[in-house]
Amino acid sequence: MASDRFNPTGSRHTLASRTAPTTKVARAAALALCLVTFACAAQTPPLQGPGTPVPPPLAGAPAGAMPAVAPPPPPPPAPLAMQQPVVATGTVSRFVINPEGDVDGFLLSDGSLVHFPPHMSAQLVSVVHAGDTVQIAGFRGSAGNVTAQQITNQRTSQQVVDQPPPVNAMRLPPTLRGAGLVKLSVKGTVARVTTAPGGEPDGVMLSNGTVIKMPPPQAQQFASLMRPDAVVAASGYGTRNQFGEALQATAFGTPGNVTQLYNDMPN
């Protein structure tokens, strides 16, 4: 027993034999820990960075369920077809005004309707008069009307070109733009249906050139009257001047049977 205690070889042999099982257990535990770590990493979703949107969970999924990956958004709708460029020539038969009294168009002798922005009104009536032959360069819309970008008086060669109004141009605030309107009542036969920029009906023009305007949702209520040769009547607020007559309707229908378009209208 004394030789075993002090024999160096025996001591080393005894220590190795005692530590070998402990080393094997430690290695096995470390291997198991690595396997568990890899498995957890494979199941853990990536962290959301700042500003990264979190996709919504699946409908009916339990709380804490993995969020669903949202499908890509649908492609944007195709742009509307561009208007058809046109160059036309004709004789001005009548100017057309809006309810505020600005000249914003004219009729040619062949019945074509030419539109232009109201801010061109003063310049246009100083260059073009009824009976003048004009050349119009612009675009023809889906309703067949022409939106002018350039109007040339062929008699005088004077031109009016659509340009944005000056930045410092004085314009009444919205609350005062209707201050000069007067109450009007009109009736007559529809010559043509007017349309909003999107092509939906927004009123009518009578055979005498009077323009009756209303919002498209209200105009849709009178589909049977939104046609040529229909006999209509309207009352509302607008302007009558040397260039024509136009009103924003508050009541519309047939003579003797008009319908109020708005509630609580002042008398």
Counted domains in the chain: 2
Confidence at residue 245, expressed as pLDDT on a 0 to 100 scale:
96
Q: What is the pTM of this model?
A: 0.64
Contact between 195 and 145 under an 8 Å Cβ cutoff? The reply is: yes
Is there a domain that residue 137 lies in? yes
Confidence at residue 164, expressed as pLDDT on a 0 to 100 scale:
79
pLDDT tens figures, 87-128: 999 999 999 999 999 999 999 999 999 999 988 999 999 999
Is there a domain that residue 15 lies in? no
**Position 56 pLDDT exceeds 50:** no
Domain boundary among 143, 165, 187: 165
Is there a domain that residue 248 lies in? yes
Confidence at residue 155, expressed as pLDDT on a 0 to 100 scale:
94
Confidence at residue 267, expressed as pLDDT on a 0 to 100 scale:
52
pLDDT tens figures, 84-95: 899 999 999 999
Q: What is the CATH number of the domain that holds 245?
A: 2.40.50
pLDDT confidence bin for 144, thresholds 50/70/90: confident
Q: Is the pLDDT higher at 29 or at 84?
A: 84
Q: Are residues 185 and 138 in the same domain?
A: no
pLDDT confidence bin for 266, thresholds 50/70/90: low
Is there a domain that residue 17 lies in? no
Tokens of 248: 């924003």
Percent of the chain with pLDDT over 90: 52
Is there a domain that residue 243 lies in? yes
pLDDT confidence bin for 19, thresholds 50/70/90: very low
Is there a domain that residue 47 lies in? no
Percent of the chain with pLDDT over 70: 62
Confidence at residue 196, expressed as pLDDT on a 0 to 100 scale:
86
Q: Are residues 238 and 186 in the same domain?
A: yes
Q: Are residues 158 and 134 in the same domain?
A: yes
pLDDT confidence bin for 260, thresholds 50/70/90: very high
Domain boundary among 126, 145, 165: 165
Q: What is the CATH number of the domain that holds 129?
A: 2.40.50.1010
Is there a domain that residue 204 lies in? yes
Confidence at residue 199, expressed as pLDDT on a 0 to 100 scale:
83
Q: What is the mean pLDDT of residues 222-243?
A: 96
Q: Are residues 256 and 205 in the same domain?
A: yes
Confidence at residue 23, expressed as pLDDT on a 0 to 100 scale:
53
Domain that holds residue 157: 84-165
**Position 228 pLDDT exceeds 60:** yes
pLDDT confidence bin for 169, thresholds 50/70/90: low
